[in-house]
Amino acid sequence: MIIGTHALLGKSVKFKDLGLLVIDEEQKFGVAAKEKLREMKINVDTLTLTATPIPRTLQFSLMNARDMSIMTTPPPNRQPIQTEIIKFDDHNKIRDAIQSEVYRGGQVFFVHNRVSDLPEIANMIRRLCPDVDVGMAHGQMHNDELEERMMSFINGKYDVLVSTNIVETGLDVSNANTMFIHNAHQFGLSDLHQLRGRVGRSNRKAFCYLVTLSMHVLPEDSRKRLRSIEQFSELGSGFQIAMRDLDIRGAGDLLGGEQSGFIVDIGFDMYQKILNEAILELKSSDFKDVFEEEIHQERKFVTECAIETDLEMLIPDQYVNSTAERFSLYNRLDNIDTEEALLKFQNELQDRFGSIPHQVKELFNGVRLRWVAKRLGFERVILKNRKLRCYFVENQESSYYQSPTFQQILQYAQRHAKMWHFKQTDKNFMLVRDGIKSITDARDLLLEFE
């Protein structure tokens, strides 16, 4: 076994029979570095370890290209780190937090990522807390001097250590349980989470203060990062933070060198749906011979179906006042795919908000209608002015039109030609019926095709 840094990538290092590669702190490696490690031997088993996977790596796991295991159980007696956003000019808050930590016998990290400003920061802390011993450390110091400063802090000589982000990894000071991160808006989510992990490494309550400018002057992405790190402060929340980072920065180039990318315009959920649809299309066309058995076992011609209606089908403002809560409920409802889960969701709503209004019941029926429509191969269902229009798969060359499902619909509609009729436009082929009064009626009629 050999344990090393990036030096293992050097041309002078040769492996006789490399079988297992373990990459710790994976977020610190670039794509080129990781691929060079992989190229040392074909088909080498690789295990990557990280508290916050970079978006590209996380996306590989979400699309089942790589296996993923999540460890969320913290060591015994650990407590969540209380995280708070404060302004740099709030000197009273900074002073009180430092004194509170020092008076209970603890120590403080103050992280500022610009070496030239460290003496000024250290002097400010000395002015605010005259009775506190302040030390300073950064990567431009000589190795011996830096080691001496760090060992002095570990041994309790300094109450406050003012440093750059060199304390981010490899440091375990159980007595340090308060951290200030100055200009936190300039750090990435992964860096903030790693830095915050330097405190709270004992059974004491720990505090992390994100020192920044006023929130309203920061860029939108910076505000999202700070709110995310403040929100996800529970132990083992690294995966949630990585998911938020993926949503903010995007998945990057899955086949290239970019480890993050821009998908915020369409959102992560929509991006994932589009990607899955593209993969399914390739499986059923260019690679149908390879995935023939898989396609035969579970064939879904339609993965999403849009329901449009002039009937009231929503969660009213008067029923759920909070806009954020309504969005959350809509999102959960969109992911429900069984009657049992829908009834459970309905009972939860009734328990939390009271009797279910008519509009919400229609919304539930709309979900049931969508389930049936997707099984039958309808990409869109419109119910307006008592007319029901069901749109078949838009791709006229789709194998759906040779499927037993479509043949069954065709035969049933021909037997009931007085009630159902087909209509063809330039782009769409649809099934139409008049006189439909409700979402429930539409669902019951479509069920007859099954």
Q: Tell me, yes or no, whether 244 lies in a domain.
A: no
What's the pLDDT score for residue 293? 62
Are 379 and 318 found together in one domain? Answer: yes
The string of pLDDT tens digits covering residues 407-434 is 888 888 888 888 898 888 877 888 999 9
Selection from 276, 278, 250 nearest residue 263 by Cα: 250
What's the pLDDT score for residue 69? 83
Are 45 and 104 found together in one domain? Answer: no
How many other C-beta atoms lie within 10 A of the C-beta of residue 380? 18
Q: Tell me, yes or no, whether 67 lies in a domain.
A: no
Show contacts of 9-18: CB within 8 Å, 24+ apart.
Answer: 9/33, 9/36, 9/37, 15/40, 15/41, 17/41, 18/44
Counted domains in the chain: 3
Q: What DSSP line would sit under 201-264, residue for residue?
A: -SSS-EEEEEEES-GGGS-HHHHHHHHHHHH--STT-HHHHHHHHHHHH----TTSS-S----T
Burial class (CB in 10 A: 0-12, 13-18, 19+), 255: exposed
Are 176 and 38 found together in one domain? Answer: no
Task: Point out the domain boundary residue: 215, 235, 255.
Answer: 235
Distance CA 168, CA 109 (A): 11
Distance CA 237, CA 297 (A): 37
Are 347 and 437 found together in one domain? Answer: yes
Averaged pLDDT score across all residues of the chain:
83
Are 37 and 139 found together in one domain? Answer: no
Are 206 and 319 found together in one domain? Answer: no
Q: Do 409 and 431 touch, CB atoms closer than 8 A? A: yes
| 358 backbone dihedrals φ, ψ, rounded to 5° | -60, -40
- CATH code of residue 96: 3.40.50.300
pLDDT at 86 over 90: yes
Average pLDDT value for residue range 299-309: 79
The string of pLDDT tens digits covering residues 41-71 is 567 788 888 877 767 667 666 666 678 888 8
Distance CA 22, CA 47 (A): 5
Residue 73 makes CB contacts below 8 A (sequence gap 6+) with 236
The string of pLDDT tens digits covering residues 152-164 is 999 999 999 999 9
The string of pLDDT tens digits covering residues 210-237 is 999 888 888 888 888 898 888 888 887 8
pLDDT at 359 over 70: yes
b/e 127-158 (16+ beta carbons within 10 angstroms → b): eebeebbbbbbbeebeeeebeebbeebbeeeb
- Regarding predicted confidence, which is higher, 198 or 35? 198
Q: Tell me, yes or no, whether 335 lies in a domain.
A: yes
pLDDT at 263 over 60: no
Domain that holds residue 167: 81-235
Classified as helix, coil or strand, 44 is: coil
What's the pLDDT score for residue 94? 94
Distance CA 415, CA 184 (A): 68
Distance CA 276, CA 178 (A): 44
Residue 128 makes CB contacts below 8 A (sequence gap 6+) with 91, 94, 95, 98
Are 318 and 441 found together in one domain? Answer: yes
Lowest-confidence segment of 292-301, 318-327, 378-387, 405-414 by average pLDDT: 292-301
Q: Do 209 and 179 touch, CB atoms closer than 8 A? A: yes
Are 99 and 222 found together in one domain? Answer: yes
Are 314 and 194 found together in one domain? Answer: no
Q: Tell me, yes or no, whether 279 lies in a domain.
A: no
How many other C-beta atoms lie within 10 A of the C-beta of residue 302? 19
What's the pLDDT score for residue 299? 55
Are 106 and 160 found together in one domain? Answer: yes
Are 198 and 131 found together in one domain? Answer: yes
Selection from 173, 190, 179, 198 nearest residue 86 by Cα: 179
pLDDT at 258 over 60: no
Q: Tell me, yes or no, whether 252 lies in a domain.
A: no
Are 309 and 167 found together in one domain? Answer: no
